[in-house]
Structure 1
């Protein structure tokens, strides 16, 4: 446990830096809006629209997305319950949480994992959306930190989880 202690200290220091400034409250409103786009409803809509509007490519986008989320969700829940990392506001009374998280533990960030999974799929099937997709996914990860519900490493590991699950699904179904 001592090997991760410096990382945990850095995580807490970064969270305090992000959350203890005069812009925290106004920034939390924008962060809530950005974070809400990663709640999951948008992914289903994107998959359905792609299938409806883009024929075979859209159907493949939907199928690869379903497979990727089928892989990602159990891994996410197993990691959450294996690490049992407490959220920032539980570790320091100096950390303000601007929302109530949907589950108890923080590692990895599920919102970030899902956003990077979707960004990876969008960039594969619709390369013209590449920059937008990854900027959006990064903003979702940043919003989770700015809302006080995740540490930086939660977001980084969430992004890696999403990227990895998307790549596995792409390899299995799309031959990528």
Structure 2
């Protein structure tokens, strides 16, 4: 898997359009930051008088699982970021930490997308599409391998489902 990840990263980041794609990817990646999900959850809680409180409670439970799990996995596995492991690559942004597996941005995006899909099915395609774009942006920025994204998506979806079960 590491060999396939390395080949994919080298191919993507050595394309002539890599820098241009990285500018757009940087904007998309910001959707994976925590403040966006807090604001979205508060808006849903405020405007949806019937289901907003349950959505917010479920989101809090899911993120209470996801955040320590992704941090713990990163420190347990300690997979170096692509630019740290491959001299021929350089990242387009400075990541918040040293390790890449799993992608925390992708995990957070998939928690939110999964919960939105369950609570508000009409937005499923948009929510999942944005989550996939957040994950892809992390690869295009050179801070994650494709398998980091797959692991983050799996972690985020799983935490959302456990959060639904708990609440």
Q: Secondary structure at the match of 1:42?
A: helix
Indicate yes or no: 2:108 matched with 1:114: yes
Q: Which residue of 1 aligns with 2:162?
A: 168
**How far off is 1:93 after superposition?**
1.5
- Given candidates 10, 17, 21, the residue that maps to 1:27 is 21
Q: Which residue of 2 aligns with 1:63?
A: 57
**How far off is 1:148 after superposition?**
0.2
Equivalent residues in 2 for 1:74-93, closer than 5 Å: 74-93=68-87
Indicate yes or no: 2:141 matched with 1:147: yes
Q: Which residue of 1 aligns with 2:37?
A: 43
Q: What RMSD, in angstroms, separates the aligned Cα atoms of the two structures?
A: 0.6
- Given candidates 121, 124, 135, the residue that maps to 1:127 is 121
When structure 1 is superposed on structure 2, of 53-62 and 133-142 the one drifting more is 53-62
Structure 1 gap ranges (5+): 1-6
Q: Deviations over 1:139-168 (max 9, x none)?
A: 000000000000011000000000000000
Q: How many positions carry a matched residue from both structures?
A: 167
Q: Which residue of 2 aligns with 1:3?
A: none
**How far off is 1:56 after superposition?**
3.1
CA separation in 1, counterparts of 2:50 and 2:42? 12
* TM-score calculated relative to the size of structure 2: 0.98
Q: Which residue of 2 aligns with 1:105?
A: 99
CA separation in 2, counterparts of 1:146 and 1:94? 15
**How far off is 1:96 after superposition?**
2.1
When structure 1 is superposed on structure 2, of 159-168 and 35-44 the one drifting more is 35-44
Q: Deviations over 1:95-147 (max 9, x none)?
A: 12000000110000000000011000000111110000000000000000000
CA separation in 1, counterparts of 2:31 and 2:94? 16
* TM-score calculated relative to the size of structure 1: 0.93
In the TM superposition, structure 1's runs of 4+ consecutive aligned residues that sit over 6 Å from their partners are none
